[in-house]
Amino acid sequence: MPDQYSVISNLNLRESSRVTSQVSARPVETGLARLILQDRQFFVLGRYEQRIVTAISAPSTGLVVSGDWAADAKRTLLAAPLAQPVFTEPASLHRYRATAKQPFYIPAETTPSFFPPTLEGLLDDQRAARNAIAVTPTGQIGVKDPRVLKAALAGANALERDDVAFLVPIEAAFLSDEHSLRLLISVLNRSVHPVLLALVHDKNPLESPKRLKAYRRIFAETTGMVIPYRADATAFDARAHGAAGMAVGLIPSARRTNPVGSRGGPVADPTDMAPHVLIADLLRFTRAKMMRREWFVDSESPRCFCPGCRGAAIDRFYESTADRFQAHLHNAYELQRLHTSNLGFSTTERHDWWHAQAAGAADAYPKLASHIGRAVPVPDDVSLWSKACRS
Amino acid sequence: MNDDTAAKGALLAALRLSRGLTQQELAAAAETSQASVSKAEGGKDDLDPVRWSAIERCLAVPTGTFMRTQSFAPESRIFHRKLRSTPQYALKRLRAEVDLAHLRSSALLSTRKPELRVSRHPIPHDGFVTPGEIADDVRQELGVAEGPIGNLTGLLEDSGVVVIRSHLEAMQVDAIAGWPDGGTPVILLNDHVSSERQRFTMAHELGHAVMHDVSASALQESQADAFASAFLMPAESFAAKWPGRDIDALVTYKSTWGVSLAAAIRRGRDLGLLSESDYTKLSIHMSATGAHRRELDPMKSESPRLMTDAIESAMAQGATLQALAERALMLEEEFVSTYLENHA
């Protein structure tokens, strides 16, 4: 592959020679959660990104629909002949705080009946609604009371079925304390189901090197199937350290989970709707407006050669619906390319591949700085990823 | 080996170490040879009464201490909270201090020993049970109400733990704890550190005593810290009135809980009440202002009462100071300064 961008050149970004050996499409009707999640890159779709589904067509991908409109969206998606699996994200992820007594959100009966709602029943309903897998409606799990996490584990492990994934949405503070982290790893190792691990925080859940290292440890030290859920580029570091697959977001709100009742931390300019764009060479999502106003005011912006951009400038996206769609499309293509470029790799090969990507990204920052004539510090995450660490 | 000789030897070694003397130094002071001190400590050889008397004078213990000794073979699990890297010779001295503390507390508390209400909660290796959960269990076991613990020393003493303030700074530790099987747990506290740190240290040692068999690894030290943190600042009630990141409000809050500012903000971070960046900013502020070395709004120190009360009670019933000091293997002056002065 030629250098992808005209300015920022990351020579390590090369297609895998094994792309042709991608995992083949699997019949999703089986509902076998482990098979469906293994090696697959799911995209968590918000309300406005569903149209990019045509771009997410690789056999190694899948779709997660979320939000109030999820049921309608899934019906629309499934009306098309999709090869990849689709499942719906439980609303409990955003609306319910788990307790030790009730770790899962099970709606109260509106009228008494012989068959009150049960966890099993809710999962059956999910499957009956043509979800490729069922997902436990786990509420957000706080760090203060370890009994909540254990209650969720016990409830999930009591499910004798293989079409279910155990959703574990934890407060990011689990990553700040060694003993909470050890508890989490121990719980994940006891899960009989594949785990979707989501981080709850109103800003960046991996805000410090300490948390980044702790997050990496989860995937390195767990022995079962753990999938980073609603993640950003960190999902690739997780994968390089043992994650079986990933579920990533194309927009910022789909790359983390806000605490119940929160709409996210303060943003510099709430009216700025310009999309965040993945610059794969830098392994970084950056707002297009920031690129235009701060990086490429007086210098040529890089061009992107993904199937969506076809050589156009990387900072060309404005606030319009059409531009935002194009940016989502670009993000999807780039995330997909990164994912498929290491499919079929052994753990060691994937680790080395990721290290090379990250080292290349760390090198690309000074090049960018030199091009635009101002400092662009290497972010903590890229810096950590670029350091060789074989666990 | 004769049992009496072995007991005398073990006691000799403990007393010598607690005085910070080498065998050579003791031998020189007692005008005997290092070899004979060594053999006596090993229980291989008994000394004649004149030499024992000379040694008693050098060690500042009552005359006849060794002749009256029939048994001294304590086997405690020992824990200590290091200030810096603790040298090997200090570790031996620490064990000697704890062994003597056990002997003295057994001798002086014979009739007033509180019922031991603390039980062991071994912590699993895989992290499935957190130190915080064990701290919650122990609080429940001891009947501690939600919220701050007013007098931690009193709580521990009422629960059957002996707390003694001691001059431990020479051994570079904040505290030592020992818990013989079936015996009374003893915590020796360095009286040269702040009251907040003493409280945290007591809780730390309690954590070791209930969770661990030995104190060795960094993980165990970290577990004992986490236990102490959760024991003094239980998650739910500590989080309920968390004041945010304002330093003045935090100083007031840490005083309410009887912990250091550093311990409070660390607990805040671990419970997700403070972001990583706010925690870092506060830590830098503390470091820049010296607040990490000198506690802001320091609290009044807690005084152990258990031993003092037992001694005063014995004296009220007719026991003489000399007799009680003899039981504690101390001369009267040291006995008074250890147990009766500054314990109001």
What backbone torsions phi and psi does residue B297 show, to the nearest 5 degrees?
A: 45, 60
CB-based burial label for A336 (10 Å; 0-12, 13-18, 19+): buried
Cβ neighbours of A324 (radius 10 Å)? 20
Residue A250 near residue A328, CB atoms below 8 Å: yes
For A327-365, how does the pLDDT look when each residue is reduced to its tens digit (9 = 90+)? Answer: 999 999 999 999 999 999 998 999 999 999 999 999 999
Cβ-defined contact of A207 to B277 (cutoff 8 Å): yes
CB-based burial label for A127 (10 Å; 0-12, 13-18, 19+): middle
pLDDT at A22: 47
B 270-299 → A contacts, CB under 8 A: 270-272, 275-277, 280
| DSSP-derived pairing of the beta strands B186-190 and A226-231 | unpaired
Cα(A199)–Cα(A173) distance, rounded to whole angstroms? 9
- Sheet with B186-190, strands from edge to edge, namely B76-82, B173-180, B186-190, B162-166
- Sheet with A195-200, strands from edge to edge, namely A86-88, A61-65, A41-45, A246-249, A226-231, A195-200, A164-171, A134-135
**Which one of B127, B272, B276 has the shortest CB-CB distance to A143?**
B272
For B237-286, how does the pLDDT look when each residue is reduced to its tens digit (9 = 90+)? Answer: 999 999 999 999 999 999 999 999 999 999 999 999 999 999 999 999 99
Query: How many residue pairs bridge chain A and chain B with CB atoms within 8 Å of each other?
Result: 63
Higher pLDDT, A82 or A371: A371
Mapped onto helix, strand or coil, the DSSP state of residue A129 is coil
Cα(B69)–Cα(B8) distance, rounded to whole angstroms? 6
Residue B212: is its pLDDT beyond 80?
A: yes
Q: Measured between beta carbons, which residues in chain A are less than 8 angstroms from residue B220? A: none
C-alpha distances (whole Å) from A55 to each of A143, A303, B287 are 38, 20, 52
Residue A389: is its pLDDT beyond 80?
A: no
**Nearest in space to B304 (alpha carbons), one of B209, B188, B197:** B188
Cβ neighbours of A22 (radius 10 Å)? 16
Hey, of B128, B134, B241, B278, which one would you mutate to test binding to chain A, going by the most A CBs within 10 A of its CB? B128
**Residue A266's pLDDT band (cuts 50, 70, 90):** low
**Which one of A179, A207, A208 has the shortest CB-CB distance to B132?**
A179
**Residue A81's pLDDT band (cuts 50, 70, 90):** low
Q: At what angle do helices B3-18 and B49-59 cross, to 10 degrees?
A: 30
Cα B101 to the center of its chain, rounded Å: 9
Instruction: Please give the CATH topology (third level) of the domain spanning B1-73.
Output: 434 Repressor (Amino-terminal Domain) (1.10.260)
pLDDT at A287: 93
pLDDT at B194: 87
- Give, in degrees to the nearest 5, the angle at Cα B216 between B214 and B218: 130
CB-based burial label for B49 (10 Å; 0-12, 13-18, 19+): exposed
Residue type, A78: L
Cα(B226)–Cα(B270) distance, rounded to whole angstroms? 10
**Residue B150's pLDDT band (cuts 50, 70, 90):** very high
Tokens of A305: 């050669």
Cα(A263)–Cα(A199) distance, rounded to whole angstroms? 15
Cα B265 to the center of its chain, rounded Å: 25
Hey, of A99, A179, A200, A212, which one would you mutate to test binding to chain B, going by the most B CBs within 10 A of its CB? A179
B223, closest residue in chain A (CA to CA): A179
Higher pLDDT, A308 or A183: A183
Domain ranges of chain B: 1-73, 109-289, 306-339
Cβ-defined contact of A146 to B133 (cutoff 8 Å): yes
Cβ neighbours of A52 (radius 10 Å)? 22
Q: Measured between beta carbons, which residues in chain A are less than 8 angstroms from residue B211? A: none
**Nearest in space to B165 (alpha carbons), one of B255, B97, B73:** B97
Torsion of the alpha carbons at A308, A310, A313 and A319, rounded to the nearest 10: -30
Q: Measured between beta carbons, which residues in chain A are less than 8 angstroms from residue B146? A: none
Residue B184 near residue B102, CB atoms below 8 Å: yes
Higher pLDDT, A11 or A47: A47
Q: What are the DSSP calls for B213-254, one per residue?
A: S---SHHHHHHHHHHHHHHHS-HHHHHHT---S-HHHHHHHH
Expressed in angstroms, the distance from the first to the final Cα of chain A is 30
pLDDT at A59: 82
For A104-145, how does the pLDDT look when each residue is reduced to its tens digit (9 = 90+)? Answer: 999 887 766 777 889 999 999 999 988 999 999 999 999 999
> With the C-alpha atoms ordered B156, B159, B161, B162, is the resulting torsion angle positive or negative?
positive
Hey, of B270, B283, B284, which one would you mutate to test binding to chain A, going by the most A CBs within 10 A of its CB? B270
Cα A307 to the center of its chain, rounded Å: 21
pTM for this entry: 0.87
The continuous run of DSSP H or E covering A200 comes out as: strand A195-200
Tokens of A318: 């404005």
Tokens of A110: 């509106």
Q: Measured between beta carbons, which residues in chain B are less than 8 angstroms from residue A203? A: 275
Cα(A5)–Cα(B65) distance, rounded to whole angstroms? 87
**Nearest in space to A238 (alpha carbons), one of A206, A208, A277, A207:** A206
Exposure of B244 in the CB half-sphere (CA atoms within 13 A)? 3
Q: What share of chain B is helix, strand, coil (3-state, %, to 5)?
A: 55, 5, 40
**Nearest in space to B76 (alpha carbons), one of B222, B214, B281:** B214
DSSP code at position A140: B
Cα(A37)–Cα(A27) distance, rounded to whole angstroms? 12
Helices (H), B3-48: 3-18, 23-29, 34-41
Cβ-defined contact of B226 to A145 (cutoff 8 Å): no
Residue A120 near residue A72, CB atoms below 8 Å: no
A213 has a chain B CB within 8 A of its CB: no
pLDDT at B342: 58
Residue A6: is its pLDDT beyond 50?
A: no
Mean pLDDT for the stretch of residues A360-381: 95
Mapped onto helix, strand or coil, the DSSP state of residue A11 is coil
Beta bridge partners of B248: none
pLDDT at A24: 46
